[in-house]
Chains A and B, each alone.
Chain A
Amino acid sequence: MKRQSSVDAINANDQISRLPDEVLHKILSKLSIQEAVRTSVLSCRWVDLWKEMPHLFLDLRKLAKFRTLLPHVIDNDAVRSMTKVINDHRGGHLERCTIYYYSYQCKNRMVEAWIRSLIHVKHIKHLTLINYLCPFRPNTKPVTLDLPPNSFSHPYLKSLHLGRYHIKTPLSFNNCGNLMNLELTGILAEAGVLNAVLMSCPSLEVLVVVINCDKGRGLLKIENRNLKFLYLSCYKIDGIEVSTPNLDILSIGSLWCERENVVFENPRLQFHRNYWTTGKIYAHTSYSISCPDQEKKSIGHEFMMSRSQEFLSEFSSMSVSVDLANTKQVEMLHEVLAAWRGEMEELEVLFKKCNAPSAEVETSIGRTKKQFWEVKKPFSDVNFTAYTVWLSDFSGSKQEIAFASWLITQGMVIKTMLIKPSSSFSSKKLEIEGAVANLKELPKGYSELDIIMA
């Protein structure tokens, strides 16, 4: 069959083929990878489209066939298919590749090959590789990849997420100054190995560590100077030392170690409440809201918001410091509260005092936006609730009073609101007491709410 020229071939009714590549890629991205690859048999316009998709999402688990669940059968189809997808993809525009698989589905050598191909040939920027335990094939041995040194060292690779692996040596992470984001979740590794890995990645801005140091305990040291966001969840570890001066957000999932052995040298994240004071039951996030550069976004903030489902979850707690007079910071706080899912156990808001006057914000239309305390119903889309709220460093300013009023009247606080006056405002003690008394008079969203001056 002779092929007609592409111009003739476009039927007047063929609207979809006239859409630009990016839009068609978007459509393909909403299909499973199998369906996306299948579109290559549709027509000339579609034959190579999938090969330029910016994101490859390969979930081998969906290809697990019933017969391969029998212990003696090896599942080759899924692996072959994935390999072919990776090989055939043109690579040029490949930004991101996410691979999920059951550990029994792939031989390690194949996974190692994929890593090599994706990073060093296809030049991807973001790689996520997680192996899962199949409920029907419990293979409890953790997967150990045998990767050559510098495997993750490549100028294009910016973020890496490895899930459920045993990291025996740090060699594969040698020379990884390219990595900005590193997530190691469900990892089995010795503290010393992890320390070496982190030292090999000096440019890290975001670090998520969920590890089990069971075999050899040891002291975990995190000293990456550029870190903005850190999430820690460590099982069986002797001690942790975190010295990261630029950290905006410190989130603790769970720490199995004595409090004395945990040292956080982060002067900006000094709060009254923390993971230990809340009883070591809830995950706790400490966040010092700041945006030194008004134009650019805060990296830690952006990361946390992009994964709000994981990090801003129900039944956890948060301490956040914010300068209510700074519009941008208030916006960021608003974003965080709006994204919170379910009920928060405890929220501590520490009021920062900044001496610089806040600039009036002009919207693109030319009108000045009202500050939140001037609006009748601020943060109208915020639905979160907190069982307990601490307002620390309360100085009785109008913004602080407005904020507290909003929390009380909008039913954001369920049981207790504790107001801790700022020690440096001792002269205003009476004023503060007056303000608190007024707050107590406000109509409460939750009738059982207690407002206490701490």
Chain B
Amino acid sequence: TMKSYIWLQTADGSIQQVEQEVAMFCPMICQEVVHKGVGSSKNHAISLPQRVNPAMFSLILDYCRFHQVSGRSNKERKTYDERFIRMDTKRLCELTSAADSLQLKPLVDLTSRALARIIEGKTPEEIREIFHLPDDLTEEEKLEPLKNTMDDPRIRLLNRLYAKKRKELKERERLKNVEVEEHVDERSVDDLLSFINGRDPKVVKMPKGKKKNKKKKDQKIVSSEEKEGPEDFVDKESHDLHSKEQGAKETESSNIPSTEDDIFTPNAGSEDGDIDDEIDPAMKEMLDREVEDFARRLNSNWVRSLGQERRPVHFSINGNGTTRRHIGIFGGIIFTFV
């Protein structure tokens, strides 16, 4: 049988013919042939995208030639891929670009994975060097990840709405319980107690709330079960909330609990007052120091000897020892605040 060929023109103007089954492995070429009817002769060669230079095209054709054969086992294909991908970083990027413009998804997947493996475990400086990236971020921009940049107003709104709703529900529950109890003959005891303590009987019944109030005093944390403060901020918000709540649709507003707002402020506790009491102060201090350390290092040149300064406690239980080696302490911290 006569083999059919497809005519293709690369960005540099040179025209070549390629076996049909090999060329058609590229979706972009396939589309051109089927939908536009081109490629059947030298005069009607298909113009390949700009990003496909002759060297890359030759590589891609090798790839297609191997993979379009149907009998091969998965193992064979995998072995071929692993070997195919061994090239310098520059060519890898060029190949990714060319494969992408030809819509050759499996090859893009393969090269992306290879590029990801190169990036993995390296410091920003190393990555910039390997890929010739410009170091064009300002100091502040590099520190952005450390700051609390959570300014999504919708999230804040949702948080507050939710917190408010929860509070309302809890209040309702409480009132219900109180009402129920009042029907029982505990009245005399209440009266007695309130007389003794000189306080509102409701407060006496809710020791839990009292305890929380006490804990919260030292912290900026706002918990959904407490009165929100700073007061003026909250009042303003609750005014807005009120009108918003009545007017807005449910799907419009969303928030993470207001406790979230202060989570990333250093020295503030976590989302619940309870938790903070459980972190021992030595550990908190260590955390703060690590953050400071990291901020400093971001701005200075990383030295390879950093690896030796790694503290033994920071190993990830599921982490693969080798890949995490460079991340170690920094991965842990970076990730906390990034």
**Which residues of chain A have a CB within 8 Å of any CB of chain B?**
1, 3-4, 9-11, 13-20, 22-23, 26-28, 30-32, 34-35, 37-47, 59, 61-67, 69, 72-74, 76-81, 83-84, 87-88, 107, 109-110, 113-114, 116-117, 120-121, 136, 148, 150, 154-155, 364-365, 380-381
Q: In chain A, what residue has the closest Cβ to B4?
A: A365
Q: A41-B124, A109-B272 are in contact. Are A20 and B100 (CB under 8 A)?
A: yes
**Closest B-chain residue to A44, C-beta based?**
B136
CB-nearest residue of chain A relative to B74?
A381
Residues of B within 8 A of A381 (CB): 70-71, 73
Q: Is there a chain A Cβ closer than 8 Å to B149's Cβ?
A: yes
* Cα A410 to Cα B159 with chains together (Å): 62
Q: How far is the CA of A24 from the CA of B337 in the complex (A)?
A: 23
CB of B191, distance to nearest CB on chain A (Å): 35
Give chain B residues whose Cβ lies under 8 Å from the Cβ of A20. 100
Which chain A residue has the least Cβ–Cβ distance from B316? Answer: A62
Contact call A116/B158, Cβ cutoff below 8 A: yes
What 5 pairs between A and B have smallest CB-CB spacing?
A15-B93, A30-B116, A120-B254, A13-B132, A113-B256
Task: Say which residue of B120, B256, B331 sits within 8 Å of A116 (CB atoms).
Answer: B256
Task: Specify which chain A residues have a CB less than 8 angstroms from the CB of B315 in the assembled complex.
Answer: 65-66
CA distance A31 to B287 in the complex (A): 25
Determine if B116 and A16 form an interchain contact, defined as CB atoms under 8 angstroms apart. no
- Whether B131 pairs with A15 at a CB distance below 8 angstroms is yes
Whether the pair A77, B257 counts as a contact (CB closer than 8 A) is: no
Across-interface contacts of A30 in B (CB, < 8 A): 112-113, 116-117
Alpha-carbon distance A62/B149, docked complex (angstroms): 24
Closest-by-CB residue of B relative to A5 is B136
Q: How far is the CB of A40 from chain B (nearest CB, A)?
A: 6
Minimum CB distance partner of A2 in chain B: B138
Contact, CB under 8 Å: B137 / A47: yes
Q: Indicate if the CB atoms of A44 and B162 lie closer than 8 Å.
A: no
B11 within 8 A of A: no
Q: A23-B100, A84-B150, A110-B271 are in contact. Are A15 and B338 (CB under 8 A)?
A: no
Q: In the assembled complex, which residues on chain B have CB atoms less than 8 Å from the CB atom of A154? A: 251
Contact between A43 and B96, CB atoms less than 8 A apart:
no
Q: Find chain A residues with CB under 8 A from B121 CB.
A: 35
Does B272 contact A35, Cβ atoms closer than 8 Å? no
Residue of B nearest to A82 (CB): B335
- CB within 8 Å of A: which B295-338 residues: 298, 313-319, 327, 331-332, 334-338
Q: What are the residues of chain A within 8 A of B128 when measuring CB–CB? A: 42-43
| Alpha-carbon gap, A69 to B224, bound state (A) | 28
> Given A66-B314, A74-B279, A121-B154, do A43 and B137 touch, yes or no (CB 8 Å)?
yes
A136 to B318, CA, bound (A): 12
Quick check: is B250 within 8 A (CB to CB) of the other chain?
Answer: yes
Determine whether B34 belongs to the interface, using a CB cutoff of 8 Å to chain A: yes
Within 8 A of A (CB), among B64-102: 70-71, 73, 90, 93-94, 96-97, 100
**Which of A1, A14, A27, A117 is close to B132, meaning CB atoms less than 8 Å apart?**
A14
- List residues 179-215 of chain B with CB under 8 A from any CB of chain A: none
> Which of A17, A32, A45 is the most central at the interface, judged by chain B CB atoms within 10 Å of its CB?
A32
| Distance from B57 Cβ to chain A, minimum over Cβ atoms (Å) | 16
With A27-B119, A64-B317 known as contacts, the answer to whether A364 contacts B100 (CB < 8 A) is no
| Beta-carbon nearest neighbor of A14 in chain B | B132
- B332 pairs with A65, CB closer than 8 A: yes
Residues in chain A near residue B142, CB distance under 8 A = 41
Contact, CB under 8 Å: B135 / A23: no
Instruction: Give Cα distance in the complex from A37 to B138, angstroms.
Output: 17
